Structure 1
């Protein structure tokens, strides 16, 4: 009896501990955080200083939620030549409340109270209602011969059209079909054709030609059958398996690389390889076509559809985690004309940070685009469907603003 009672006690304790751990794990990770931000006041422009101080406070709140510290030290002949420390965060800040703000001399101070979720992405990014413009280019095939089964030769353009259709209407995205163009003449080396600074100047050119902020591209690496000579499935397969006779499965692979480049700097902001496979039981001479109803009715097509759904989710999250950007189309005194309007969600009263752009060259002669913060903001005054008008606190000549410089909103 004593042994039985001991066992009962141990079991009760285990149940209590398990229940407590489950309750603790189910507790929300959201917590309220207080943070402060500071920014210098330049050109006596308090609006610009306030926006930078608010962004600094949000970054500080995010770091309190979850921070990652990376340190690198390089020693050469006993001397410290490189000492690098980077602190980053992956915590999402939301429901920001400004508790107090004031100007002290040439310094602007903002105190906030915000919710921080360490499990969410888009750290240090203030949520906004703007829709970022995206162009989806064609997807070249590394092995075009793989498309012969099922007549899938149109996959290079049809895949881009599918992504455009899936992305259309999603929050924060305004998508354009550019499946007639490709960024990689040599698909085998994509995206290693970028410069040592991880930029792709072809993406900048394409973005300017198309008038978009991001360029989605990629390469179809594999569409091959694992056992191309395997017989098609039949009703007799179950009986044959019972007597110990099995056939090779008609497994077909789909391997896809997707890249997202920032259209203003050419920087690679997203890169992922997607893999899937399924059973391809169609006749060798069947004209199925990629993306058709017949294609998605196959087991292989079902698996490809699941993979593409994941890719669309990843693309939307990546794009939403980036700031909104648009080019300056015209400069006139304190007034600037922006090449985005109501279609992107701009509204009168919005504040937009102003940046200079310039083309630079590294030691290898590779060109790259540099974006420089002017530390000023422009306030939107008028909005039309495809452009907006904003006012600066000082004359644009003092900043040497030019056409094709940019505005940004976090």
Structure 2
């Protein structure tokens, strides 16, 4: 639990963050919870889905909750008092105890098993496979790759991450290592807008047909002691008589950025760093990612670092809602640009959202996603697309191509 205080131009902002849990073990806790949602356009299916989501969230909060509070004071007067509560608990084995319409509301009461201290609060979207494109990694210091002929690292690192991600649950990774998103590598990704969006990520995602874009910058691959002699069999004998040599330590530092492909928002950012011994000859043609490279102490350390980055990417993406674009609309039917390969099945319900491009005061564009409060039921599924139906015509919502469906 902590709090922080900021003052600027007569405005005081107080941030208060707290976490608490009603259960202190990882055992499953049976919880009853109720969810409520308004009935829009007389569509009870949409209201039921939203009420179920509300009930799951309420069950999660009863076991593990995080409280975020923001207060803004201007000249001593409280002008904004904002409180948000969310949870990191996992809800499973949901049983519906009662449900039905109550006037303009739909009520659902559930009994669920809740496990505290889990990664994702809501498991309703985790069985869908989310698409990820890995772009090439820009190099801040290309000259660092000269030793060992590691110049292919900008593309090879992305290729390795694609292979690793495709072996993990819930992800479908595509290689886009031929493109990079940051022409100015030292400041990446600070050239994004104040809204923490990157319009190049949006355009790349549309071109590639993916939900997330993973990019990055390789910051450092330099030797710590460039003139240090290579290790030899005499070193242990020299050490016995008190003579030691500088180690041929080499660094590897890279940043990873994950952007939402529909809004351009930065959803994850992290820097990874390691070092290892590089004892190869200065003119050796080792190559990045080769068997020879990973047989070195340096390569083994980099391999572990890549594994950690891939795990972090998987965790980040799995905790995001599943999203797909609407490729076509016709009466009350929508054609979704995701199908069996993403895990969609007939009978699934997808929330429908409209998208629009907006501009801020600085002229920077951003994408706004608007909830229609309605859902579409999947009726037909093909390998790479699905057909879903809504209770109302798409004209009433002004749905168009490139609008979205979402599952939490």
- Could you say whether these structures have the same fold, taking a TM-score greater than 0.5 normalized by the shorter chain as the test? yes
Query: Which residue matches 1:223?
Result: 221
Contact 2:51 2:108 in 1 (8 A): yes
Contact 2:231 2:279 in 1 (8 A): yes
Query: Which residue matches 2:371?
Result: 373
Between the aligned partners of 1:162 and 1:40, the Cα distance in structure 2 is: 47
Q: Which runs of 5 or more structure 2 residues have no equivalent in the other structure?
A: 1-22
Residue number among 250, 253, 257 corresponding to 1:252 in the alignment = 250
Residue number among 38, 41, 48 corresponding to 1:50 in the alignment = 48
Q: Which range moves more in the overlay, 165-174 or 230-239?
A: 165-174
Query: Which residue matches 2:63?
Result: 65
Are 2:121 and 1:123 equivalent residues in the alignment?
yes
Residue correspondences, number: 386
Between the aligned partners of 2:87 and 2:126, the Cα distance in structure 1 is: 19
Q: Deviations over 1:57-100 (max 9, x none)?
A: 11111211211212222322221122222222222222222222
Residue number among 381, 387, 403 corresponding to 1:405 in the alignment = 403
Contact 2:26 2:116 in 1 (8 A): no
Higher helix proportion, which one? 1
The within-5 A match list for 1:350-365 is 350-365=348-363
Contact 1:93 1:126 in 2 (8 A): no
Query: Which residue matches 1:396?
Result: 394
The within-5 A match list for 1:210-289 is 210-289=208-287
Contact 2:214 2:256 in 1 (8 A): yes
Contact 1:29 1:119 in 2 (8 A): no
Q: CA deviation at 1:127?
A: 4.1
Between the aligned partners of 2:292 and 2:374, the Cα distance in structure 1 is: 55
Contact 1:125 1:323 in 2 (8 A): no
Between the aligned partners of 2:167 and 2:43, the Cα distance in structure 1 is: 38
Between the aligned partners of 2:81 and 2:24, the Cα distance in structure 1 is: 41
Query: Which residue matches 1:160?
Result: 158
Structure number with larger C-alpha Rg: 1
Q: Which range moves more in the overlay, 113-122 or 327-336?
A: 113-122
Q: CA deviation at 1:338?
A: 0.9
Contact 1:331 1:396 in 2 (8 A): yes
Query: Which residue matches 2:187?
Result: 189
Query: Which residue matches 2:381?
Result: 383
Q: CA deviation at 1:32?
A: 1.8
Q: CA deviation at 1:115?
A: 2.1
Between the aligned partners of 2:282 and 2:66, the Cα distance in structure 1 is: 53
Between the aligned partners of 1:269 and 1:44, the Cα distance in structure 2 is: 35
Query: Which residue matches 1:87?
Result: 85
Query: Which residue matches 1:336?
Result: 334
Between the aligned partners of 1:95 and 1:319, the Cα distance in structure 2 is: 23
Between the aligned partners of 1:371 and 1:261, the Cα distance in structure 2 is: 15
Contact 2:125 2:322 in 1 (8 A): no
Query: Which residue matches 1:206?
Result: 204
Between the aligned partners of 1:48 and 1:164, the Cα distance in structure 2 is: 36
Q: CA deviation at 1:331?
A: 0.7
Query: Which residue matches 2:314?
Result: 316
RMSD: 1.4
Q: CA deviation at 1:117?
A: 2.1
Q: CA deviation at 1:35?
A: 1.2
Q: CA deviation at 1:341?
A: 1.2
Query: Which residue matches 2:104?
Result: 106
Please report the TM-score for the alignment, with normalisation by the length of structure 2.
0.92
Higher strand proportion, which one? 2
Q: Which range moves more in the overlay, 81-90 or 390-399?
A: 81-90
Q: CA deviation at 1:241?
A: 0.8
Q: Which range moves more in the overlay, 377-386 or 155-164?
A: 377-386
Between the aligned partners of 2:253 and 2:54, the Cα distance in structure 1 is: 41
Q: Which range moves more in the overlay, 337-346 or 392-401?
A: 337-346
Q: CA deviation at 1:125?
A: 4.5
Q: Deviations over 1:7-56 (max 9, x none)?
A: xxxxxxxxxxxxxxxxxx99644322221110001111111001100111
Contact 1:50 1:109 in 2 (8 A): yes
Contact 1:36 1:111 in 2 (8 A): yes
Residue number among 287, 290, 294 corresponding to 2:288 in the alignment = 290
Between the aligned partners of 1:107 and 1:119, the Cα distance in structure 2 is: 32
Q: Which runs of 5 or more structure 1 residues have no equivalent in the other structure?
A: 1-24
